[in-house]
C-alpha cells in the first residue's frame, strides 16, 4: 500500500510540473514565420481569475467606429459593414462594431464637424498627429481622446510586448511627454516605406519616341506631346482632396525645387517649404502648365473618382500614385480602353539631369494615418483595448496582412500566399481592390505590416520596378520624425499653422489657377511672417530637439 501511495504521489507531482511547463511555454505559431514579433496566446479564453486573454472575447458591448473607407474600395463597397474584412474582424475579436464613415476625401472636414458636435463615437481612426491642430497632446488635453498608457499596460499585452522589443518604434508612437494616444500602424520592413511617386503612360512615350522624363524640362516637353499628339484633355491630373494639389500630388514635383509643402530639416534646422524661394519656382511651373492646358482644368476639385475616370478614358497620361492602389488599380483600367497601355513609375523630377532627387515619398516605420484612438465617450474601454490589441497578436498579424486562411490565403511551405480570389478576382477587381476586401495589408491600420504582403501585392513587374525607382532619393536626410508640441505649445502652434496653412492653400490655388500674379508671392511670405511663422518654426525646432532626446 505504501508503495502504491508513493507511486501515485510521484505521478501527481510529475503531472503538475508538466502542466506548469506547458503553461509557460507560450504559443508558437509556425505559420507566422517569425514575422510579427508579437506575443499573446489567442487560444485560451480565460485565466483562472476569469480575466479574458484570448479571442473571440465574450462580450455584448457594441462599439461605434468612425473612419474613412479606403480609397481602394471607393465605388466597390458603400460601407465598412459590406467589406468581408470588417465583418470577419468582428467575428474574430467577438466585438460588434457600428461603422460611421465620412465622405471619401473629406475626413478632415468631417472630423471638425464631429468634434464640434460633442457627439463622439467610441473609436476614431484618424491622423491626430498630422491632421489635428495641436496634435495628440492637445486632443488629450481637450478631452477628445484618452491617454492610453495604463490601458495598454493592463489590457494590450501584444502591443506592449512589441514596443518593448522595438524601442526605436516605441520612441515614435508616443508624445514627448510619454503619452500613448493611438493604436499605431507600423511598417515592419524598410522595403515597405516607399510606395508612391510619379506614374506615366510608357506606351505613349514609346509611340512618341520620348524617353521616361527625368527633368522638369523633359516633363514639360512630354506633357505637351501628350496634349498635342495624343489628344489628352488632362495630360497631368492628381487628386486634390482633402487639399488642393495635396502632398501626394505636388510633392512629387515641388521637390525638384528643393522644398516640400510642409516642414523639413536641413543642416540641423527646420524650414517651411512654402516660405522658401523654391516654392515660388514650383508655383511658376504649375501656373504655366495650367495656363497651357497641361494640367487637368478641374484639378482644383478632382477627387479619386475623377482621376480614375481620366486614367481609364485616356484623358490623362501622367499622375502621382501608389504602386498598389495606383498602378495596380489603373493598369487594368487603361488596358480596357487600350490593350497596349502600360503604366510605369518615373524618377522623382530634378532640375539637372543626373542629380539625385532631394525629396520623395518615404515614410517612417510608424505612420500616423490609419491609427485608431479611443475617445472619452467610451466609459469602459477595456474591451475596446483588447479588441484593438488583436492586430498585434500572432493571429491578428496574419489576419490583418493576409485575411482568412483558406479563403484569401493558404500556407505554402511556410509562406502565406494569396489565393486566386485576390490575385485573379472573379468579379474582375484589381488585386489592390480585392486584397482590401479581405485583408488590410495594403493600407494603414492598427497592426504591423508584413513585407510578404507587398511581395505579392506588387504582382506586376512594373509595380516592383516603380518602387525601386522611387526609392532613389535623399528624402531620408530631410524628412522629419513624428514630432509633438507640448500641451503648452500645442494651442499656440495649432492657431498659427491653421492660419498659415489656410493662407498657403489660398496662395497656391490663386497663383496656379491665374487669379493672382506670381508677384504676389512675396506679399504672402510677409503675411506668413505676420502670422508668426518664425514662432511655429521655433516650436518645431524645440520639438525636434526633444524627440532626439527621447
Tens of pLDDT along 390-443?
A: 999 999 999 999 999 999 999 999 999 999 999 999 998 888 899 999 999 999
Is the per-residue pLDDT at 44 higher than 90? no
Kindly indicate the confidence band of residue 22, based on its pLDDT and cuts at 50, 70 and 90: very low
Is the per-residue pLDDT at 515 higher than 90? yes
Kindly indicate the confidence band of residue 52, based on its pLDDT and cuts at 50, 70 and 90: low
For residue 162, how many other CB atoms are within 10 A of its CB? 26
- pLDDT tens readout for residues 243-254: 777 654 557 899
Are the beta carbons of 318 and 217 closer than 8 angstroms? no
pLDDT value of residue 105: 80
- What percent of the chain shows pLDDT beyond 90? 76
The span from the CA of 442 to the CA of 72, in Å, is: 9
Mean pLDDT score across all residues of the chain = 89
Between residues 39 and 342, the one the model is more confident about: 342
Q: Helix H segments across 118-165?
A: 135-141, 149-155, 157-165
pLDDT value of residue 51: 55
Q: What does DSSP say about strands 123-125 and 62-66: parallel, antiparallel, or unpaired?
A: parallel
Q: 164: closest CA among 255, 41, 38? A: 38
Is the per-residue pLDDT at 24 higher than 80? no
Least confident of 32-36, 111-115, 364-368, 399-403: 32-36
Are the beta carbons of 346 and 213 closer than 8 angstroms? yes
pLDDT value of residue 133: 79
The span from the CA of 387 to the CA of 62, in Å, is: 11
Is the per-residue pLDDT at 71 higher than 60? yes
Q: 399: closest CA among 413, 414, 409, 389? A: 409
Is the per-residue pLDDT at 268 higher than 70? yes
Q: What number is the average pLDDT over the span 313-339?
A: 93
Q: Helix H segments across 298-392?
A: 304-313, 329-337, 382-389
Fold classification of 196-360+475-548 is: D-Maltodextrin-Binding Protein; domain 2 (3.40.190)
Helix (H) or strand (E) holding 470: helix 461-470
pLDDT value of residue 32: 38
pLDDT value of residue 246: 61
The span from the CA of 478 to the CA of 264, in Å, is: 6
Cell numbers of 143, please? 478631452
pLDDT value of residue 459: 84
> Where in the chain are the domains?
62-189+367-449, 196-360+475-548
Is the per-residue pLDDT at 6 higher than 80? no
Are the beta carbons of 337 and 344 closer than 8 angstroms? no
Output the pTM of the full model.
Answer: 0.78
pLDDT value of residue 35: 39
Kindly indicate the confidence band of residue 457, based on its pLDDT and cuts at 50, 70 and 90: confident
- pLDDT tens readout for residues 477-505: 999 999 888 877 877 888 899 899 999 99
Q: Measuring CA to CA, how many Å separate 44 from each of 23, 50, 156, 184, 382?
A: 10, 11, 15, 25, 18
Q: What number is the average pLDDT over the span 174-195?
A: 94
Q: How many CA atoms lie within 13 A of 421 on its CB side?
A: 18
- pLDDT tens readout for residues 73-115: 988 999 999 999 999 999 999 999 999 999 888 898 999 999 9
**CB neighbour class for 422 (10 Å; exposed up to 12, middle 13-18, buried from 19):** buried
Is the per-residue pLDDT at 23 higher than 90? no
Fold classification of 62-189+367-449 is: D-Maltodextrin-Binding Protein; domain 2 (3.40.190)
Is the per-residue pLDDT at 165 higher than 80? yes
pLDDT value of residue 40: 43
Between residues 389 and 37, the one the model is more confident about: 389
pLDDT value of residue 488: 77
Is the per-residue pLDDT at 14 higher than 80? no
The span from the CA of 500 to the CA of 525, in Å, is: 10
Amino acid at each position: 500500500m505504501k508503495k502504491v501511495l508513493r507511486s501515485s504521489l510521484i505521478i501527481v507531482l510529475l503531472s503538475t510540473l508538466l502542466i506548469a511547463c506547458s503553461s509557460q511555454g507560450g504559443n508558437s505559431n509556425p505559420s507566422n514565420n517569425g514575422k510579427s514579433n508579437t506575443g499573446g496566446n489567442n487560444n485560451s479564453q480565460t485565466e483562472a481569475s476569469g480575466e479574458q486573454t484570448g479571442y473571440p472575447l465574450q462580450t455584448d458591448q457594441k462599439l461605434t467606429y468612425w473612419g474613412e473607407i479606403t480609397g481602394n474600395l471607393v465605388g466597390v463597397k458603400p460601407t465598412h459593414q459590406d467589406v468581408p474584412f470588417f465583418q470577419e474582424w468582428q467575428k474574430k475579436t467577438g466585438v460588434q462594431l457600428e461603422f460611421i464613415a465620412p465622405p471619401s476625401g473629406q475626413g478632415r472636414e468631417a472630423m471638425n464637424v464631429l468634434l464640434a458636435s460633442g457627439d463622439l463615437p467610441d473609436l476614431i481612426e484618424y491622423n491626430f498627429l498630422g491632421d489635428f491642430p495641436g496634435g495628440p497632446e492637445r486632443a488629450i488635453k481637450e478631452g477628445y481622446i484618452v491617454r492610453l498608457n495604463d490601458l495598454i499596460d493592463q489590457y494590450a499585452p501584444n502591443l506592449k510586448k512589441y514596443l518593448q522589443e522595438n524601442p526605436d518604434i516605441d520612441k515614435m508612437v508616443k508624445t514627448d511627454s510619454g503619452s500613448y494616444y493611438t493604436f499605431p500602424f507600423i511598417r515592419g520592413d524598410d522595403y515597405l516605406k516607399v510606395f508612391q511617386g510619379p506614374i506615366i503612360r510608357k506606351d505613349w512615350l514609346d509611340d512618341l519616341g520620348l524617353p521616361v522624363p527625368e527633368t522638369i524640362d523633359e516633363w514639360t516637353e512630354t506633357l505637351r506631346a501628350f496634349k498635342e499628339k495624343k489628344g489628352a484633355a488632362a495630360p497631368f491630373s492628381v487628386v486634390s482632396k482633402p487639399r488642393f494639389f495635396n502632398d501626394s500630388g505636388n510633392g512629387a514635383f515641388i521637390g525638384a525645387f528643393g522644398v516640400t509643402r510642409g516642414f523639413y530639416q536641413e543642416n540641423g534646422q527646420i524650414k517651411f517649404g512654402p516660405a522658401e524661394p523654391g516654392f515660388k519656382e514650383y508655383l511658376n511651373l504649375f501656373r504655366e502648365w495650367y495656363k497651357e492646358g497641361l494640367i487637368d482644368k478641374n484639378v482644383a476639385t478632382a477627387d479619386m473618382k475623377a482621376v480614375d475616370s481620366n486614367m481609364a478614358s485616356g484623358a490623362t497620361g501622367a499622375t502621382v500614385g501608389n504602386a498598389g492602389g495606383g498602378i495596380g488599380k489603373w493598369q487594368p483600367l487603361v488596358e480596357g480602353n487600350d490593350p497596349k497601355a502600360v503604366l510605369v513609375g518615373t524618377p522623382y523630377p530634378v532640375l539637372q539631369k543626373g542629380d539625385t532627387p532631394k525629396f520623395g515619398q518615404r515614410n517612417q516605420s510608424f505612420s500616423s494615418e490609419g491609427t485608431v484612438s479611443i475617445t472619452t465617450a467610451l466609459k469602459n474601454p477595456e474591451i475596446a483595448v483588447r479588441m484593438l490589441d488583436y492586430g498585434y497578436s500572432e493571429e491578428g498579424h496574419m489576419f490583418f496582412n493576409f485575411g482568412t486562411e483558406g479563403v484569401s490565403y493558404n500556407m505554402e511551405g511556410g509562406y502565406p500566399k494569396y489565393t486566386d480570389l485576390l490575385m485573379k478576382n472573379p468579379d474582375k477587381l484589381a488585386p489592390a481592390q480585392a486584397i482590401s476586401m479581405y485583408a488590410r495589408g495594403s493600407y494603414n491600420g492598427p497592426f504591423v505590416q508584413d513585407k510578404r504582403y507587398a511581395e505579392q501585392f506588387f504582382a506586376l513587374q512594373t509595380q516592383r520596378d516603380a518602387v525601386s525607382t522611387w526609392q532613389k532619393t535623399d528624402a531620408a536626410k530631410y524628412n522629419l520624425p513624428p514630432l509633438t508640441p507640448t500641451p503648452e505649445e500645442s494651442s499656440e502652434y495649432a492657431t498659427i499653422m491653421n492660419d498659415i496653412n489656410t493662407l498657403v492653400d489660398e496662395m497656391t490655388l490663386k497663383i496656379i489657377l491665374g487669379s493672382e500674379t506670381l508677384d504676389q508671392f512675396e506679399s504672402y511670405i510677409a503675411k506668413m511672417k505676420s502670422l508668426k511663422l518664425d514662432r511655429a518654426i521655433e516650436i518645431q525646432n524645440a520639438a525636434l530637439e526633444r524627440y532626439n532626446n527621447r
